[in-house]
Structure 1
Amino acid sequence: MIELDNIKSVYFIGIGGIGMSALARYFGERGVKVSGYDRTPTPLTRQLEAAGMAIHYEDDPALADKAAGLVVYTPAVPSSHRELAYYREQGFPVWKRSDVLEAITRTLFSITVAGTHGKTTISSFIAHILRHSGYGCNAFLGGITVNYHTNFWSNARETAVIEADEYDRSFLKLHPDIAVLTAMDPDHLDIYGTPEALEEAFIQYTAQLGSEGLLVYKHGLARSRELKGAKRISYSLENNAADIYAENIRLDNGGYIFSICRKDWMIDNLQLNIGGMHNVENTVAAVAVAHHLGIGNEQIRAAVAAFKGVKRRFEYIVRNVHTVYIDDYAHHPEELRALIQSARSLFPDKQCTVVFQPHLYTRTRDLADGFAESLSLADEVILLPIYPARELPIPGIQSELIAEKIKGDRAKVMDKAGCLNLLQEQRPELLITAGAGDIDQLVQPIKDFLDN
């Protein structure tokens, strides 16, 4: 095993990924030379370049760092990648992102957050509470926090908050002291094959806990009796059968005021200034961890009120008397359901238009019925073509597969240019853009014409 403290130069293949960029920042802050490759320039890669990291966008071994002490790659990079093949053939140490996280956290008190949805917001929320309260932590997050404009920060306290990704089973490399489990809904079936195999992996994730470890899990999860953990806390939005839950939830100017209760403890008058009832539930999970660590009520209350959320997680882009525009990373049917229901509950008098970009051919194939059911909650649906990411096309699998299953005559498929033209004509009252691909390229153009 390589000692990370001895490495002088690290090369990343896929450096612009949200998890990879957090590791790049980690090494950069430690004075290590960082460089890498990505497929296309993005705001994230531009930020890394501004921090002094050399990045190129052509798969060319001649451009790669020949003195790298460690090469890190994301599993989304195909095995045919020329630079990856070069480093392997030349005998360089080549690690997956999860291997690096395992090495970093081996000596840290680790709080990990896993689940098919909710993990980015909850991990960011926990890290924010620890930072805002002065408790302190190192954070490796899967999204850009609005409060701090980053997905990574370091601290002298030997505690780490980590988003634990189930893709490629990478979360099974981690050995948490506190493990959070948010959901086990079917996803990544191209990796796991069956929903049952995915559930088995989440059960194994909880078995990675230390002998005195704490499991914080969503109340009502399937197979919850099989989950591990010497100590266990179930959480819920409002179900008082859970160990910790919210009550007296009241709408307040696009956010919420509520209390959180346990049998032996309560914190009242929490004010959450981001939208989405699912974010109230996310608050419950984050507060459960903070309370377990001994953070006091006043510190928790202040941190919750100050939390501004995560970029592209129920993010208000435009909010005026004419239009509410929300952008979200939702790319799973249950995420879409929670997103649309929450937006409609906050703005019940507005007609709701959703623009959705399906992510991956396999996910579209496996979950088309669920996508159609969730999108049917909107008044109008615009579907962009499938974002392929790492996949090749599958015959017969297109966005039209979802559109034809959506109830009523409310769905259409069009490209980005057509979508922008239609939205500019219609100027929707309540607009949601959602997806994990490159749909975020539409956010600024839409904002520009809605603001004007």
Structure 2
Amino acid sequence: MELENVKRVYFLGIGGIGMSALARYFIHKNLPVAGYDRVSTELTQKLEQEGATIHYSDDINSIPDLFKQKEGTLVVYTPAVPNNHGELMYFTQGGFEVKKRSEVLGIIGKSYKTLAVAGTHGKTTTSTMLAHIMAGYTGCDAFLGGISRNFDNNLVLQDKGKKFLVVEADEYDRSFLTLNPYLAIITSVDADHLDIYGTYDAVKDAFAQFTSQIKEEGYLIIKNNINFNPKAQNVSVLTYGFDNTCDFYPSDIEIENGLYHFSLNTPNGKVANLKLGTPGRYNLENAIAASAAAVTLGIDSHMLAEMLASFKGVQRRFDVRYWGKKIVYMDDYAHHPREIEALIHSIRDVFPNRKITGIFQPHLYSRTRDFAPEFAASLDLLDFSVITDIYPARELPIQGVSPELISGFMKNHNRRVIEKRNILDWIKSAEIDILVTIGAGDIDRMIPEIVKIVQEKEIE
């Protein structure tokens, strides 16, 4: 497929974070864009304001006539759309040019030196940090898996010379195997998406294959002691972490007003007096990874310091929504046990000796089934846990899989299972110090109401 031949683009699942970035890209190219999604969200509403035509029922009669013209129409779909989806079947059976989101991203990436950030967790924040740093350094384009607070967008288009493209390389459905990056970062390789991969070994094999696709004389920046064997050939491999045996590691770490101050040790010496503009220890780790890439690509210490200090973070990643004298409320996208564990440790770093209450919405029945004991162990780190309804996303219920499954494995007795529709009333009556909502589903839609409640509790 040649992008030059594309005259219009139709998206199935246009409201997804990765899909919406692609939609914005084609809107920016002044191509007609339309699409389907299950529900109207803030993202789809913004896309409509930007020029996309969107409907919310699986109905081929709702597809605009312009997009029923086979010649020049590109149809992009997300793997979350089922194979028996009526509109998807209409396009595939009609002989249209139909591509997965990842395939289109791979085609776009061929025009750039692609900087790809992969990992079962940490990739969204790390790629957003890298895009922010590179934007100040050389300029870049970027497709991000979250809304950057610096760009107020998940799409960055500023590299007129088409040199660097920063992308979040998603392992779900082996999507990242469409990429051939010049530089790749791997933040983590944990067991996840077992509904797709079947086994942890298959996950590690996919990451190994991803590293084999790095271009010759390119770079692999990988977290120290990661649990798989990369297959990069004729590539410079560099490590990062908190251990002084790594190629890139922090030292002189201090926390002031919740923010990290540190020095970065590199193969070329130490960069001192750095400050990260967002809190959280796992954000510091992500910053080491992004900085390692930027240093490898030649950034100077003054520009690195400026960009790290000015980084404002990503929506739904250690996202402090209210910071009062008595109560702090934050929201986080964590949906894997290791992510939840890292989140809680980071909160304790910033707010030592405070009581943390977490409200967790499990994401997917299969993930809940596969990791119930691990979810229980990570939630046990909270002072009080609330577990609410499982967000199904693309799945049907699985017998015996419920919030109670996680709760049953927990050792901390300070826990409750509460239906989502009763969460706001529970918060009103609860004793709150630090409150965090956790999960990759739709719990973030409750944020405005929760902010109002904690503001009222602050003045009680």
Could you tell me which residue of structure 2 aligns to residue 397 of structure 1?
A: 401
Is 1:77 matched with 2:74? no
Is 1:147 matched with 2:146? no
User: Could you tell me how far apart the structure 2 residues matched to 1:136 and 1:196 are?
Assistant: 38
Is the 2:212–2:230 Cα contact (8 Å) retained in structure 1? no
Identical amino acids, percent of aligned pairs = 47
Is 1:165 matched with 2:159? no
Is 1:20 matched with 2:22? no
Could you tell me which residue of structure 2 aligns to residue 410 of structure 1?
A: 414
Which blocks of at least 5 consecutive residues in structure 2 are unaligned? none
Is the 2:385–2:416 Cα contact (8 Å) retained in structure 1? yes
Could you tell me which residue of structure 1 aligns to residue 191 of structure 2?
A: 186
Could you tell me which residue of structure 2 aligns to residue 322 of structure 1?
A: 326
- After superposition, give the CA deviation of every residue in 1:300-336 in whole Å (9 maximum; x if it has no partner): 1000000001000001111111111111000000000
Amino acid in the other structure paired with 1:355: I
State the aligned residue count: 449
Equivalent position SS for 2:449: helix
Is the 2:213–2:232 Cα contact (8 Å) retained in structure 1? no
Amino acid in the other structure paired with 2:434: L
Is the 2:207–2:230 Cα contact (8 Å) retained in structure 1? no
Moved more, 283-292 or 224-233: 224-233
User: Could you tell me how far apart the structure 1 residues matched to 2:339 and 2:131 are?
Assistant: 22
User: Could you tell me how far apart the structure 1 residues matched to 2:149 and 2:234 are?
Assistant: 32
Equivalent position SS for 2:401: coil
Is the 1:207–1:229 Cα contact (8 Å) retained in structure 2? no
Cα 1:379–1:227 shift into 2, 3 Å: farther
Amino acid in the other structure paired with 1:376: D
Could you tell me which residue of structure 1 aligns to residue 207 of structure 2?
A: 202
- After superposition, give the CA deviation of every residue in 1:117-163 in whole Å (9 maximum; x if it has no partner): 00000000000001133x11110000000111100021213210000
- 1:427 Cα deviation after fit: 4.5
Amino acid in the other structure paired with 1:8: K
User: Could you tell me how far apart the structure 1 residues matched to 2:25 and 2:328 are?
Assistant: 37
Cα 1:296–1:227 shift into 2, 3 Å: same
Could you tell me which residue of structure 1 aligns to residue 45 of structure 2?
A: 46
User: Could you tell me how far apart the structure 2 residues matched to 1:25 and 1:60 are?
Assistant: 23
- RMSD over aligned CA atoms reads 1.1
- After superposition, give the CA deviation of every residue in 1:17-52 in whole Å (9 maximum; x if it has no partner): 000000000000001100000000000000000001
Amino acid in the other structure paired with 2:68: K
Equivalent position SS for 1:144: strand
TM-score normalized with structure 2 length: 0.96
User: Could you tell me how far apart the structure 1 residues matched to 2:430 and 2:49 are?
Assistant: 39
1:277 to 267, 276, 281: 281
Is the 1:214–1:229 Cα contact (8 Å) retained in structure 2? no
Is 1:265 matched with 2:301? no
- After superposition, give the CA deviation of every residue in 1:329-378 in whole Å (9 maximum; x if it has no partner): 00000000000111012112211100000000110111111110000000
- 1:226 Cα deviation after fit: 5.1
User: Could you tell me how far apart the structure 2 residues matched to 1:255 and 1:232 are?
Assistant: 30
Is 1:234 matched with 2:233? no
- 1:194 Cα deviation after fit: 0.5
User: Could you tell me how far apart the structure 1 residues matched to 2:431 and 2:27 are?
Assistant: 44
Equivalent position SS for 2:80: coil
User: Could you tell me how far apart the structure 2 residues matched to 1:263 and 1:209 are?
Assistant: 21
1:105 to 102, 109, 113: 109
- 1:224 Cα deviation after fit: 4.0
TM-score normalized with structure 1 length: 0.97
- 1:405 Cα deviation after fit: 1.0
1:219-258 aligned at under 5 Å gives the runs 219-224=224-229, 230-236=235-241, 238-258=242-262
Amino acid in the other structure paired with 1:448: K
